[in-house]
Amino acid sequence: MSARIEPPAFPTGTPLPATAAPGVSEGRTPVPANGNLSGRRRRKAEAPFVRNAPKRSPDAHSGRGDRRPEGRFWRILVLCQIDNFTTLRRHLGRPRADKLAFDVADRITELCPHVRIGTAARSTIEIAFERDSCEAAAADVDRVRSAFQKPVDLDGEFYQLNLQFGIAAAPCSESDEVRLAEAAESALEQAHAENRVVMLDLSRADLAFDKLTLMRELPRAMAAGEMFLQYQPKVHVRRQEISSAEALVRWEHPVRGLILPSDFISVAEQAGEISALTLWTLRQVIADQRTLAGDGQDLTLFINISGVLLADKAFVEEACEIVSNSEAKIGFEITETAVIRDPESAIRHLNRFAEIGVTLAIDDYGAGLSSLAYLKQLPAKELKIDKMFVMQLTSSNRDPLIVRSTIDLAHALEMEVVAEGVETPSALALLSVMGCDMVQGFLISRPLGFDAFRQFLADDSYFSGTGGNASFIRPESFWKRA
């Protein structure tokens, strides 16, 4: 059984060491020109990893450091999928095939050392970076695509890796990690359908959907089974285990493809369908939790509750009946603004949820007008710090102060703290020093479909001999990357 590696215990006030590029050293042997991957360093296919955290070295292409130039700068997320993975697995065998994504990630790292790279599934690689234009990002992807046009040598035999690329791009000032991830998924699906590289520019107005059309189609979509769930795990920092997960609803439209929640949740509220959609989500989460329990995973699963529903007595009664009859471990995430709409009804109904054992979490804390008057009245057990403070934690002077004071406040109110949007090892290390209880973000995992989430937990449990929840034990290099 692997030894438990604790996060680095930096004393309070100690500056974090500069971020290194894990797995990349000056003396590393370059990849041969014929693309031989057989001698690559192997890793266990345990969970998503981040290869290159942001560095302060000059950009490999522009010659500039990490200080962003004047003008527009773009945040890029690329999903690269091995299209013929199933065929390769039949030839290579499952143990070897499960390492293919890591092989591809290694090769991409050498081709584009400025990117942050990780695995999103057994056959999918996630590439994140910033660029000064969409054209520059497309050129990076084209360089990677071209490198895999020729067969590669895998342990002495040559195989063709067919890669598909879905790219999402958004101005850094406007980017949202969840929206960017969903757009990358949509681009990847389109790339599969059209057999070409697809880039979605989220700043384009023509990506917006006609809300009236969506409003008409939503009831049909729910009846037709077009809605599905993805799960994003939360990791307990001190215990180093996956303690819970957030369920996120998605809409797979038969014509339009993946429709982002930001495009249809408000539509559901306006159309009066948000109650039906949330109750469907609740029932599906309970069914999924039973499946996870059969896998030996004891996790609380959280769903988001719209502020509209906190004043809806009929919804509250039905939701309470569903949860009570299931005996499931369910959590509800609510925002402060949802409470402010109708404080009396919201607090009364939240107390009702708490009485039947629902764990309540305050979502996006700090994003709106935070009210201590309401905060002390809510029967919440968790407080989630909004990602806008977390994502600039190591580059801002004020955000660490806000995060630290929020953690102290929550602990004083006997709440655990979850940090959203954790993307780098340095942010994780600093949050650990501050006493943050749990973290959630792309460093751990992007949202996963249920089957992929089960596999994520199963792979992770392989390294834990204690049973129960999946551990988040990582090699020492993981914690020291910051």
Residue 268 pLDDT > 50: yes
Instruction: Identify whether residues 226 and 163 lie together within a single domain.
Output: no
In a domain, 416, yes or no: yes
Q: What is the mean pLDDT of residues 286-294?
A: 96
Q: Are 458 and 448 a contacting pair, CB within 8 Å?
A: no
**CA gap 362, 441 in Å, rounded:** 17
**Listed residues 182, 207, 232: the one ending a domain:** 207
Instruction: Identify whether residues 124 and 150 lie together within a single domain.
Output: yes
In a domain, 433, yes or no: yes
How many Å separate Cα 340 from the centre of its chain? Answer: 28
Question: CB count, 10 Å around CB of 193?
Answer: 11
**Which range of residues forms the domain containing residue 254?**
211-480
**Listed residues 153, 187, 207: the one ending a domain:** 207
Q: Are 250 and 230 a contacting pair, CB within 8 Å?
A: yes
Q: Are 434 and 410 a contacting pair, CB within 8 Å?
A: no
In a domain, 13, yes or no: no
Instruction: Identify whether residues 277 and 189 lie together within a single domain.
Output: no
In tens, the pLDDT along 404-454 reads 999 999 999 999 999 998 988 889 999 999 999 999 998 888 889 999 999
Instruction: Identify whether residues 188 and 227 lie together within a single domain.
Output: no
Instruction: Identify whether residues 269 and 373 lie together within a single domain.
Output: yes
Distances (CA, A) of 218 to 15, 192, 255, 272: 50, 26, 14, 10
In a domain, 26, yes or no: no
Instruction: Identify whether residues 215 and 192 lie together within a single domain.
Output: no
**CA gap 456, 45 in Å, rounded:** 9
In tens, the pLDDT along 145-165 reads 999 988 888 888 889 999 999
Instruction: Identify whether residues 336 and 215 lie together within a single domain.
Output: yes
Instruction: Identify whether residues 279 and 313 lie together within a single domain.
Output: yes
Residue type, 311: A
Instruction: Identify whether residues 113 and 255 lie together within a single domain.
Output: no
* Whole-number pLDDT of residue 122: 81
Distances (CA, A) of 266 to 212, 257, 284, 349: 11, 19, 21, 22
Instruction: Identify whether residues 197 and 227 lie together within a single domain.
Output: no
120 phi and psi angles, rounded to 5 deg: -105, -20
Extract the tokens encoding 345. 């009804």
Cα–Cα nearest to 60, from 104, 102, 127, 111: 111
Extract the tokens encoding 306. 């719209």
373 phi and psi angles, rounded to 5 deg: -60, -40
Share of residues in the chain with pLDDT > 90 (%): 43
* Whole-number pLDDT of residue 258: 79
Q: What is the DSSP string of 119-185?
A: EEETTEEEEEEEES-HHHHHHHHHHHHHHTSS-EEETTEEE---EEEEEEEEETTT--HHHHHHHHH
Rounded (10°) CA dihedral 262, 264, 266, 268: -150
| CB within 8 Å of 81: residues ≥ 6 apart | 123, 124, 125, 163, 164, 166, 188, 192
**Listed residues 207, 227, 255: the one ending a domain:** 207
* Whole-number pLDDT of residue 157: 87
Q: What is the mean pLDDT of residues 169-173?
A: 86
Extract the tokens encoding 158. 């040559």
**CA gap 431, 98 in Å, rounded:** 32
Write the burial class of residue 327 (CB in 10 Å: 0-12 exposed, 13-18 middle, 19+ buried). Answer: exposed
* Whole-number pLDDT of residue 165: 95
| CB within 8 Å of 48: residues ≥ 6 apart | 118, 119, 120, 126, 442, 444, 445, 446, 456
Instruction: Identify whether residues 234 and 281 lie together within a single domain.
Output: yes
* Axis-axis angle for helices 100-111, 85-92 (nearest 10): 120
Strands (E), 320-411: 330-335, 359-365, 382-385
Q: Are 182 and 120 a contacting pair, CB within 8 Å?
A: no
Q: What is the chain's length?
A: 482
In tens, the pLDDT along 321-372 reads 999 999 899 999 998 777 777 888 999 999 999 999 999 999 988 765 556 7
In tens, the pLDDT along 190-240 reads 888 778 898 988 877 555 556 778 888 999 999 999 999 999 999 999 998
CATH of the domain at 90: 3.30.70.270
- Give CA angle at 386 (383, 390), nearest 5°: 110
* Whole-number pLDDT of residue 336: 74
Residue 425, classed as helix, strand or coil, is helix
**CA gap 210, 219 in Å, rounded:** 16
pTM above threshold 0.85: no
In tens, the pLDDT along 300-327 reads 999 999 989 999 999 999 999 999 999 8
In tens, the pLDDT along 74-112 reads 999 999 999 888 889 888 888 898 889 899 999 999 999
First to last CA, the chain: 25
Distances (CA, A) of 375 to 188, 208, 358, 393: 41, 35, 18, 24
In a domain, 285, yes or no: yes
Residue 200, classed as helix, strand or coil, is strand
Q: Which residue has the tokens 């590289």?
A: 197
In a domain, 436, yes or no: yes
* Whole-number pLDDT of residue 388: 83
In a domain, 57, yes or no: no
In a domain, 61, yes or no: no
Instruction: Identify whether residues 183 and 281 lie together within a single domain.
Output: no
Q: Give the total number of structural domains in the chain.
A: 2
DSSP state of 306: -
CATH of the domain at 277: 3.20.20.450
For residue 60, name the pLDDT band (cuts at 50, 70, 90): very low
| Summary mean pLDDT of the chain | 79
124-131 vs 300-304, strand pairing mode: unpaired
**CA gap 479, 301 in Å, rounded:** 27
Q: What is the mean pLDDT of residues 275-289?
A: 97
Residue 475 pLDDT > 90: no
